[in-house]
Amino acid sequence: MDLEAQQVQDACRRRLISLMVLMVSQVVYYNNLIFLTPNAPIPYHTSILTGEGWMLELLNGHPDRIRTCLGVTHNIFDKLVCVLMCHGMFSSRTSIEEQLGIFLYTCVTGLSSRHVAERFQHSPHTITKSVIYHCPYFPFDFFSQDTSKRCCFFSRTHRSTGLRSSSQQKTCQSRP
């Protein structure tokens, strides 16, 4: 019986050692998983040319380029910005010009919000907000020949100094 008891005891020791090795390996694995994995998020939008920079490039560049990219001329783009300002559309983070650029770029290209987000260096949520929530209805009198019904038009000084933030935006009034 001594030999049988010795074999049983050896088998129990081997099982105990293998369980201990398994437990230690589990502890080491989870320790590495928790403490050695980098927790800092990796930035996704790292392009040098931001959406604002791209809009400035379009507004300051060749007149045909804005028409190719956004489907409108400088003059029409300025009028659309003025209509948005007259209707109280603005944001504290993204300028009206950039929001309108996002909307027009999406309409012209038909790209997904993820692709437009990559172009403008914003999150897809911001792109969706600019397209859906800031998608304005333009009043019929916008195209009227009667200038008393139109919004005021601002000078093109913003093209050399940068896009206006909400604090710099002029309030629109009717032109005489």
Looking at residues 14-30, what average pLDDT do you find? 88
In the chain, pLDDT over 90 holds for what percent of residues? 19
Does the predicted model carry a pTM greater than 0.75? no
Q: How far apart are CA 17 and CA 44, in angstroms?
A: 47
> Any idea what the Cα angle at residue 48 is, between residues 45 and 49, rounded to 5°?
90
Secondary structure in 3-state letters for 85-151: HHCCCCCCCCCHHHHHHHHHHHHHHCCCHHHHHHHHCCCHHHHHHHHHHCCCCCCHHHHCCCHHHCE
Looking up tokens 């032109």 gives 175
Could you tell me the sign of the dihedral formed by the alpha carbons of 105, 109, 110, 115, in that order? negative
Q: What is the pLDDT of residues 78-109, one digit of tens each?
A: 998 888 888 777 666 788 888 889 989 988 99
Percentage with pLDDT > 70 across the chain: 70
Helix and strand numbers (H, E) in the chain are 8, 0
Paired tokens of 164: 């206006």
Please check the confidence at residue 131 and state whether its pLDDT lies above 60: yes
Three-state secondary-structure class, residue 171? coil
Find, among 97, 85, 91, 89, the residue nearest to 53 by Cα.
97
The confidence band for 133, taking pLDDT boundaries of 50, 70 and 90, is low
Confidence grade of residue 60 (pLDDT, cut at 50, 70, 90): very high
Q: State the Cα–Cα distance between residues 50 and 8, nearest whole angstrom.
A: 72
